[in-house]
Structure 1
Amino acid sequence: MDFSTPGTPGARTEQQLVLRPGDAGYDDELAGFQTGFAQRPDVVFAASGTDDVVAAVAYAAEAGLPVGVQATGHGLPDASHGGVLITTRRMDEVVVDPAARTVRVGAGVRWGQVVAAAAEHGLAPLNGSAPSVGAVSYTLGGGLGILAREFGYAADHVRSLDVVTADGAVRHVTAESEPELFWGLLGGGANLGAVTALEIGLVPVARLYGGALAFDGRAVDPAAILRAYTAWTETVPDEVTSSVAALVYPDLPMLPEALRGRYLVTVRVAYTGSAEDGERLVAPLRAIAPAHEDSLRELPYTESHTIHSDPDFPHAYYGESRMLDALDTAGLERLVSLAGPAADRMHVVQLNHLGGALARPAANAVPHRDARWLLRILSPLDGAADAAGADRETLREFYADALAGVERHTVGRSLNFTFGSGDRTEGLYDPETRKRLAGLKALYDPANLFRRNYDVS
């Protein structure tokens, strides 16, 4: 559609892809990884560059409509109807500066693209476990990656951001030029504007030792595995980043036969030291019991996504998280038991070991750095209709009960691992960080245009 219609707010003279309900391509443009929460905006701006984003924000401001931004659609906070949606998938520039060890990424870039580009120079980004996740949105939420204990959050390595704020201004933001806005953009999610590009530092990692060690949860007591894993984390250096996950795989034909119907408790490990030291470090894990699967090995960083082997197909899901300052062993074991084979549906429970560089202060709004653990639970939904109805309410009740045993050690929730709870923002930030972000929101977005997110206003 030509967005130069006379009388249209923010009209432009050049051709720009703008879609409304009923237009050819509207539904395709909205498609994303999360299929459980319907997005039905009044207007979709399919942005190819910063000027398109400026036009979208100007249109929304004049019409008094809320603005959302979607790159890959992994972390949708909820269903939404009406307003303006800016899709950024076409803004996929990746430019590596090997001398400076930086990469510039556009708003629609996925981590897999960055990993491949950086690897050509023996470098790596601080990406997450899934190559299909958007690099920018991931980083604005903090960015807990597979090398996080050694290098910290992805947000800690951002050099600059290009952002369109609610007044339509295009700002190049650094810690020196606008330190308070820089602080708030990194950790504040999409509350303060539409980020069109980031410049991020890279690390000199070309290979690592890592993989997964999966145990049969029906043959080996999951509680024993959890106790052995958590005891092991007390012995490892910061160069080891790890997690443990427990789930019952559905018996579906699209899954490998070795996984169908299996109840697996899987330890995932990433270590940047030598393979020899890696083998020594994981020996206590291998001593827990014979493994159903053991993929621990030396591997190029370009294969780092195989450590977690996250699903690569769109689907519907709901999830919650808890940042913990300590572990309540009994509470954790109860959660795993409730979400295991006795549950009436599939649940994924994951425990991430934090600390190390994640605990170091940084000039950004990423909260809860004193947390020692991240506990996550994620549940697939049957389809789009379930996400807005009784299915999600049933899961909320289940989560409240299942997570009750860890509440006394809970310091908050993680923005990047809270799926479909857009109406619940408590715990995402500590009170002081929330107050500071709200002040920035009032300054840079007083009309709260950017409210299709976990709103801090």
Structure 2
Amino acid sequence: MTTTHHTPDLFALSEIRGPVLRPGDDGYAEEVTGFNLAALHTPDVVVVAAGADDVVTALRWASATGTPVAVQATGHGANFPIDHGLLISTARMTDVRVDPEQRTATVAAGAKWRDVLAASAPHGLVPLNGTSTDAGAIGYTVGGGLPVLGRTYGYATDLVRSFQVVTPEGLLRETDPTREPELFWALRGGKGNVGVVTSMVTELLPLRTVLGGGLYYPGEHAEAVLTAWAEWIRTVPEEMCSAFAVLRLPPIPQLPEPVRGGFWARVAVTWTKDPAEGGELLQPIRSAAPVSVDWVREMPYTDVDSIYMEPQDPLPGRESCSLLRELTPDAIRAFLGQVGPAVPDCPLLAAQLRHMGGALSRPARTDDAICARDAAHLLEAVAVLASPPEAEAVERATASLHSAMSPYGTGRTMVNIHGTPGDAADRARAWTPEVQDRLRRVKETYDPSNLLRFGHTV
């Protein structure tokens, strides 16, 4: 027997200025498709919001009809398929206004970090973006936001001054540390549990250039490089931000020729102080093994995407992470036993260890929902899901890697990089029990009907 899912009457959405689309309409497929092509969305209705008023109208309709709601700007974090319900696309809301005197940016819901950077860099100011400026600024920030410069400046949420957010009953609210502080708290690390953010005001940093890039070594030297890196990061100042990765790069034209199609050990670095001093600090890493490609240079911060070289084109991806409390010799052996040169058929595109600590370990000026400040490292696994058999191999390799590293972990993840959220116990790994309980109480206040139930929710 076939079950028919009925879409509630859409007349109430006629006031919306942006397109309102249903399956089969022109433009529907383009609007539901995000950066991560592995998450295939099939909502009953798509509202392409032209501004905050459209979000208000859409949520009032959803509340009146009991329709569950999801929101998407770029779809970088779309690890969970949206089945039925309402999808609010904020991709058209890309306005960025910079106040150079106050060193702030007012960022609309659909703006990417590269939009913020393009508006702020001419003033000698930059945001706390992540490893790809193609990601949406709002979705990244409400998940905490782990910046390229995190050890130096902290999490992206640490710089947020206020949010404009529409809560599920369709009420537009302004929230900051003094106005509805529990809502402000939940939006800084609690992801999409309590409302649809339509804009934020965030502080900017006075910075024009950094020393940054990647050192690439033949993959067979992974153990020597990782061992040297693990020792080196014990002594570097917090102005040095870095990550070690094992990369199995595909032979595709989007990658530069020297590294295309290769098996590499890479150390990516970003240093915010004197370039000559940073170069001297890098000597133990440069001498750890023969360097095949050295792309570390003084660069304008607008070239930040070249440091980690993350994909810029949509693809079907699988990402996951674990937070680690230590990186001992046993942990190094466990890591390389899963992804190193002795595992030639490893299907992971990248297995990366980010150096945490520094400003990432200090309490925020205003309490937030981030539960990663006790982590020394972040372990991230990334793969491309080209076919069903490959997807199965990726799942096995991902589970095996995180299992092997669990003795060295905190037991938690970061919500933005968690990957596809599983059952309640799996989702809970993004927060401590105390923070999750507090998130649940805030959600009961602002979303008692659980309309915002897609994605990584409590």
Q: TM-score, normalised by structure 2?
A: 0.93
Measured after TM superposition, the shift of residue 416 of structure 1 is 1.3
What secondary structure, in the 3-state scheme, does the structure 1 residue paired with 2:449 have?
coil
Measured after TM superposition, the shift of residue 392 of structure 1 is 4.7
Q: Is the 8 A contact 1:332 1:405 kept in 2?
A: no
Structure 1 residues 273 and 13: alpha-carbon distance in aligned structure 2, compared to 1, 3 A threshold: closer
Residue 55 (1) aligns with residue 54 (2):
no
In structure 1, distance between residues paired with 2:272 and 2:255: 30
Corresponding residue for 1:3? none
What residue identity is the alignment partner of 2:25? D
Measured after TM superposition, the shift of residue 349 of structure 1 is 0.3
1:120-269 alignment to 2 at 5 Å? 120-218=122-220, 220=221, 222-269=222-269
Percent identity for Structure 1 against Structure 2 = 39
Equivalent of 1:69 in 68, 71, 89: 71
Corresponding residue for 1:117? 119
Q: Is the 8 A contact 1:94 1:104 kept in 2?
A: yes
In structure 1, distance between residues paired with 2:329 and 2:78: 32
Q: Is the 8 A contact 1:9 1:58 kept in 2?
A: no
Equivalent of 2:47 in 36, 39, 45: 45
Measured after TM superposition, the shift of residue 425 of structure 1 is 0.5
In structure 2, distance between residues paired with 1:206 and 1:227: 32
In structure 2, distance between residues paired with 1:398 and 1:217: 18
Corresponding residue for 2:317? 317
What secondary structure, in the 3-state scheme, does the structure 1 residue paired with 2:256 have?
coil
Corresponding residue for 2:4? none
Unaligned runs of 5+ in 1: 1-5
In structure 2, distance between residues paired with 1:29 and 1:156: 31
Measured after TM superposition, the shift of residue 214 of structure 1 is 0.8
In structure 2, distance between residues paired with 1:14 and 1:76: 25
Measured after TM superposition, the shift of residue 15 of structure 1 is 4.3
In structure 2, distance between residues paired with 1:21 and 1:246: 41
Residue 372 (1) aligns with residue 380 (2):
no
Residue 407 (1) aligns with residue 406 (2):
yes
In structure 2, distance between residues paired with 1:251 and 1:354: 31
Per-residue CA distance 1:420-449 (angstroms, 9 max, x = gap): 235431311011000100110111101100
* Range 236-245 or range 402-411, more displaced: 402-411
Corresponding residue for 1:275? 275
Measured after TM superposition, the shift of residue 80 of structure 1 is 2.3
Per-residue CA distance 1:354-384 (angstroms, 9 max, x = gap): 011111112211112111100111111015x
Q: Is the 8 A contact 1:324 1:373 kept in 2?
A: yes
In structure 2, distance between residues paired with 1:15 and 1:249: 44
In structure 2, distance between residues paired with 1:312 and 1:345: 20
In structure 2, distance between residues paired with 1:233 and 1:137: 30
Considering only aligned residues, what root-mean-square deviation do their CA atoms show, in Å?
A: 1.8
Residue 305 (1) aligns with residue 305 (2):
yes
1:354-369 alignment to 2 at 5 Å? 354-362=356-364, 363-369=367-373
What residue identity is the alignment partner of 2:212? G
Structure 1 residues 430 and 15: alpha-carbon distance in aligned structure 2, compared to 1, 3 A threshold: closer
Q: Is the 8 A contact 1:361 1:369 kept in 2?
A: yes
Q: Is the 8 A contact 1:368 1:430 kept in 2?
A: no
Per-residue CA distance 1:93-136 (angstroms, 9 max, x = gap): 10000110100100000011111211111111000111110000
What secondary structure, in the 3-state scheme, does the structure 1 residue paired with 2:76 have?
coil
In structure 2, distance between residues paired with 1:103 and 1:422: 35
Measured after TM superposition, the shift of residue 343 of structure 1 is 2.1
In structure 2, distance between residues paired with 1:277 and 1:257: 30
In structure 1, distance between residues paired with 2:334 and 2:102: 48
* Range 87-96 or range 342-351, more displaced: 342-351
Measured after TM superposition, the shift of residue 23 of structure 1 is 0.4
In structure 2, distance between residues paired with 1:420 and 1:391: 17
In structure 2, distance between residues paired with 1:257 and 1:227: 28
In structure 2, distance between residues paired with 1:109 and 1:455: 23
Measured after TM superposition, the shift of residue 13 of structure 1 is 3.9
Q: Is the 8 A contact 1:323 1:374 kept in 2?
A: yes
In structure 2, distance between residues paired with 1:289 and 1:168: 58
Q: Is the 8 A contact 1:336 1:349 kept in 2?
A: no
Q: Is the 8 A contact 1:210 1:270 kept in 2?
A: yes
Measured after TM superposition, the shift of residue 253 of structure 1 is 4.9
Structure 1 residues 422 and 26: alpha-carbon distance in aligned structure 2, compared to 1, 3 A threshold: farther
Measured after TM superposition, the shift of residue 260 of structure 1 is 3.3
Q: Is the 8 A contact 1:327 1:406 kept in 2?
A: no
Corresponding residue for 1:421? 421
Q: Is the 8 A contact 1:140 1:185 kept in 2?
A: yes
* Range 321-330 or range 91-100, more displaced: 321-330
Aligned residues: 444
What residue identity is the alignment partner of 1:136? I
Q: Is the 8 A contact 1:78 1:422 kept in 2?
A: no
Measured after TM superposition, the shift of residue 255 of structure 1 is 3.7
